[in-house]
């Protein structure tokens, strides 16, 4: 399959992008899969009600089919059409954070979306992306779009159309190139299907902001379990660069010692750092990823930085660790998955 690329330049105003995406809209309506930018990462979208179309997402990504997909909507009416009910608290969150990087898990409405989208669960995950192109695509097609990140399963999520093509060229009908995404990490997934709302995945909307809005929020134990697997390599890794990644808790001098040890063994070593610390390291490849002063910039550049290591010949990568507050929680969650649990702390060494 030849993958079509539509470069859309004026994305300030939704109305102006409609003519530019007409073909993509037709193909979505015909059951094809199309990659498109959102404010978090590029998504790989298909008509959520069309099982054959949704199956093409799993095939293109090589994604395990027991992993449910997020349904993207452009209006409250569309959200109401896929959810059986919207609890008052979820409504408060939608008013406050939509459009935006918050996915709500709600009781699902029977037959509204394909069973392949919800992986047989009684719930459906819904979000309204804060990106004029994504909203225009959903509106113009009139479809709720099931869309995971537009990468091959296990790889870092795409934050540019070039990342999408690196993974999926020839495997999908098309990609809408709207430039780099902003937030850079995926949406926060919040279970609002009953009981105290629970964060299933930290993301673009912080736990602190959720607590401020609705008072009480819990974190799923599974998030912690996944974050700290008992032994490296036991768990399937996500977001992973090709070279093994280690998260290093400790000052730059400690990380540099690890670099020196590995280089003494003949290894080619990469370091993932920040603008503040980039001059502190002597390694084969040193890539700064945003600034500690503004962790949003780290989130925004994280996946691109992980992918850039793949263009080098490093045998392993040592990454600095980040504070777990605010967006730092999402950064560390993704880094831990990219590292598959490999972590070294100065205290424990």
Burial of residue 34 (CB within 10 Å: 0-12, 13-18, 19+) is: buried
Q: Is 40 annotated as a binding residue?
A: yes
Q: Nearer Cβ to Mg ion, position 45 or 270?
A: 45
As measured in angstroms, the least distance from the Cβ of 281 to ligand AMP is 32
Determine whether the annotation assigns residue 157 to a binding site: yes
Is 187 among the annotated ligand-binding positions? yes
Is residue 333 part of the contact set for Mg ion (CB under 5 A)?
no
Smallest distance, ligand AMP to C-beta of residue 70, A: 5
Which positions lie near ligand AMP, rule CB under 6 A?
Answer: 67-70, 105, 118, 121, 123-125, 148-149, 186, 189, 200-201
CB of 325 to Mg ion, least distance (A): 24
Query: Whole-number minimum distance, CB 83 to ligand AMP, in Å?
Result: 11
Q: Whose Cβ is closer to ligand AMP: residue 28's or residue 105's?
A: 105
Per-residue string for binding with Mg ion, 135-154, x by CB under 5 A? --------------x-----
67 is in an annotated binding site: yes
Query: Which stretches of the chain bind Mg ion, using CB under 5 A?
Result: 149
């Amino acid at each position: 399959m030849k993958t079509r690329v539509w470069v859309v330049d004026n994305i300030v105003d939704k109305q102006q992008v409609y003519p530019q995406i007409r073909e993509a809209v037709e193909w979505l309506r015909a059951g094809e899969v199309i990659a498109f930018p959102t404010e978090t990462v590029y998504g790989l979208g298909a008509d959520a009600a069309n099982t054959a179309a949704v199956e093409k997402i799993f095939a293109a990504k090589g994604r395990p089919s027991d992993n449910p997909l997020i349904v993207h909507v452009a209006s409250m009416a569309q959200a109401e059409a896929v959810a059986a009910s919207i609890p008052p608290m979820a409504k408060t969150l939608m008013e406050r954070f939509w459009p935006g990087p918050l996915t709500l898990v709600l009781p699902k409405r029977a037959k509204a979306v394909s069973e392949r989208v919800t992986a047989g669960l009684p719930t459906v995950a819904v979000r309204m992306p804060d990106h004029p192109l994504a909203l225009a695509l959903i509106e113009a097609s009139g479809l709720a779009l099931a869309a995971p990140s537009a990468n091959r399963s296990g790889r870092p999520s795409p934050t540019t159309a070039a990342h999408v093509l690196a993974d999926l060229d020839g495997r999908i009908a098309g990609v809408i190139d709207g430039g780099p995404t902003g937030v850079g990490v995926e949406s926060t997934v919040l279970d609002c299907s009953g009981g105290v709302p629970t964060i299933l995945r930290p993301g673009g909307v912080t736990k602190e902001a959720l607590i401020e809005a609705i008072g009480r929020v819990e974190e799923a134990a599974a998030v912690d379990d996944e974050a700290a697997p008992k032994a490296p390599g036991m768990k399937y890794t996500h977001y992973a660069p090709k070279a093994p990644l280690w998260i290093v808790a400790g000052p730059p001098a400690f990380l540099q010692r690890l670099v020196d040890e590995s280089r003494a063994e003949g290894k080619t070593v990469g370091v993932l750092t920040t603008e503040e610390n980039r001059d502190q390291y002597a390694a084969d490849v040193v890539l700064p990823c945003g600034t500690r002063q503004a962790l949003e910039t780290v989130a925004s550049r994280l996946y691109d930085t992980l992918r850039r290591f793949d263009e080098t010949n490093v045998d392993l990568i040592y990454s600095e660790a980040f504070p777990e507050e605010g967006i730092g929680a999402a950064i560390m969650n993704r880094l831990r998955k990219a590292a598959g649990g490999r972590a070294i702390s100065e205290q424990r060494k």
